[in-house]
Amino acid sequence: MAKNRDLYITEVALRDGSHAIGHQYTVEQVMSVARSLDQAGVPYIEVAHGDGLGGSSEQYGRSRTNEMSLIEAAASVCTDTKIAVLLIPGIGTKNELKEAAELGAKMARVATHVTEADVSPQHIQLAKELGLETVGFLMMSHMAPVNKLVEQAKLMESYGADTVYVVDSAGAFLPNEVRERIKALRQSLSINIGFHAHNNLSLAMANTLVAIEEGATRIDGSVRCLGAGAGNTQTEVLVAILDRMGINTGIDLYEMMDLAENIVAPILPKPQEITRDSLVMGYAGVYSSFLLHAQRAAKHFHLDARDILIELGKRKVVGGQEDMILDVAAEIANKQKSLKV
């Protein structure tokens, strides 16, 4: 039975959290998490490779389990909760979106860099044709001024998106910057406004609450903070805070607490916290999913991962350019070597 809600939370641990565990989800893990989220009354669960449909590759990281199997598994155990998928044009294809819909996906989140909404119309339109609730997802939103963000959001609205998200992929936003952007979108669009946070500067919760204050009604969270970088807005904590504020999410707090403690915590290879490397990502404005890639490159070249991340920030490298991480690491290593000679 549908619940009356003041806002709608999408749980992203089974997609964004894939980054944190090296894309190693099993069918059993996904079914266990999805079943519990459905019982808790979470309206949407995003399931996919961390980089969206089609992301399993040498460049982005190979999935342990085919993502279509994970999508089908999640859909099979959910009674009321709807399964969402992320698609980044150029990584995911229309065929994969069709397959995901056939397997039970009910929402498509079409993600582009904040200045590249014009690559999304065919995917947004296909999602609408497939009967999916459709979201435009403007990644790395901190890299565009407010007027450019509004322009790109309006494009996604014109393509047929039901919702447009401001996405803080790097966890780089400060609360006043979130307030300014959500307010501008609320004044300019007639569709739903969403917000997706990362916690690299320990501001995910603060930024999310500011977004809600300014009218965002679609919010992303990750149980136990399981997401890329330092994780996302922690879902069970967000539900507790919103309950204290008198904002109805339709989600059972105790169920979320138990899920976080008993099911998700054991999946985490280590607790999600703000490490020096994830802090640097927020500080430098670097894509949160770069963390494990940069740490591996640093180990290979005997470097400090912070040096790699800072340089990536200077070069304004964005999602989809993961191959640049090794190139930058090699350049830094060669430069350091030459200085020692």
Average pLDDT over residues 231-240: 98
For the chain, the domain total comes to 2
pLDDT of residue 74 exceeding 80: yes
Q: Do 209 and 115 belong to one domain?
A: yes
pTM over 0.85: yes
Sign of the Cα torsion 321, 323, 220, 32 reads: positive
Structure token pair of residue 233? 């807005």
Q: For residue 54, name the pLDDT band (cuts at 50, 70, 90).
A: confident
**Of 267, 299, 318, at which residue does a domain stop?**
267
Average pLDDT over residues 81-92: 96
pLDDT of residue 7 exceeding 70: yes
Q: Do 101 and 151 belong to one domain?
A: yes
User: Which residues constitute the domain of residue 50?
Assistant: 8-267
Q: Do 17 and 96 belong to one domain?
A: yes
Residue 185 counted as domain residue: yes
Q: What is the CATH number of the domain that holds 313?
A: 1.10.8.60
Residue 283 counted as domain residue: no
pLDDT of residue 256 exceeding 50: yes
Residue 102 counted as domain residue: yes
The β-bridge partners of 234 are: 222
Q: For residue 63, name the pLDDT band (cuts at 50, 70, 90).
A: confident
Q: Which residues are catalytic?
A: 19
Query: Whole-angstrom Cα distance, residue 78 to residue 121?
Result: 30
* Residue found by looking up tokens 């009674």 in the block: 79
Residue 277 counted as domain residue: no
What single-letter amino acid sits at 143? M
pLDDT of residue 182 exceeding 50: yes
**Of 267, 297, 328, at which residue does a domain stop?**
267
Q: For residue 341, name the pLDDT band (cuts at 50, 70, 90).
A: low
Average pLDDT over residues 66-89: 97
Q: Is 205 exposed, middle or buried (0-12, 13-18, 19+ CB in 10 A)?
A: middle
pLDDT in tens, 127-165: 999 999 999 999 999 999 999 999 999 999 999 999 999
Average pLDDT over residues 17-42: 96
**Of 234, 267, 300, at which residue does a domain stop?**
267
Structure token pair of residue 14? 């089974």
Query: Whole-angstrom Cα distance, residue 229 to residue 286?
Result: 10
Residue 57 counted as domain residue: yes
296 known member of a binding site: no
pLDDT of residue 28 exceeding 70: yes
SS3 sequence of the chain: CCCCCCCEEEECCCCCHHHHCCCCCCHHHHHHHHHHHHHHCCCEEECCCCCCCCCCECCCECCCCCHHHHHHHHHHCCCCCEEEEEECECCECHHHHHHHHHCCEEEEEEEEECCCHHHCHHHHHHHHHCCCEEEEEEECHHHCCHHHHHHHHHHHHHHCCCEEEEECCCCCCCHHHHHHHHHHHHHHCCCEEEEECCCCCCCHHHHHHHHHHCCCCEEEEEHHHCCCCCCCCEHHHHHHHHHHCCCCCCCCHHHHHHHHHHHHHHHCCCCCCCCHHHHHHHHHCCCCCHHHHHHHHHHHHCCCHHHHHHHHHHCCCCCCCCHHHHHHHHHHHHHHHHHHC
Q: Do 81 and 209 belong to one domain?
A: yes
Q: For residue 2, name the pLDDT band (cuts at 50, 70, 90).
A: low
Q: Do 183 and 133 belong to one domain?
A: yes
142 known member of a binding site: no
Q: Do 185 and 332 belong to one domain?
A: no
Q: What is the CATH number of the domain that holds 163?
A: 3.20.20.70
Q: Do 300 and 258 belong to one domain?
A: no
Q: Do 180 and 95 belong to one domain?
A: yes
Share of the chain above pLDDT 70, in %: 98
Q: For residue 1, name the pLDDT band (cuts at 50, 70, 90).
A: very low
Contact 272, 224 (CB under 8 A): yes
Q: Do 55 and 168 belong to one domain?
A: yes
Query: Whole-angstrom Cα distance, residue 205 to residue 203?
Result: 6
340 or 200: which leads in pLDDT: 200
Residue 305 counted as domain residue: yes
16 known member of a binding site: yes
Residue 140 counted as domain residue: yes
pLDDT of residue 318 exceeding 90: no
pLDDT of residue 60: 73
Average pLDDT, the chain: 94
Q: Do 235 and 311 belong to one domain?
A: no
169 known member of a binding site: yes
Sign of the Cα torsion 153, 318, 84, 12 reads: negative
Residue 274 counted as domain residue: no
pLDDT of residue 289 exceeding 80: no
In angstroms, the Cα distances linking 252 to 38, 118, 127, 200, 258 are: 10, 39, 30, 27, 10
Q: Do 176 and 315 belong to one domain?
A: no
pLDDT of residue 248 exceeding 60: yes
Q: Do 157 and 81 belong to one domain?
A: yes
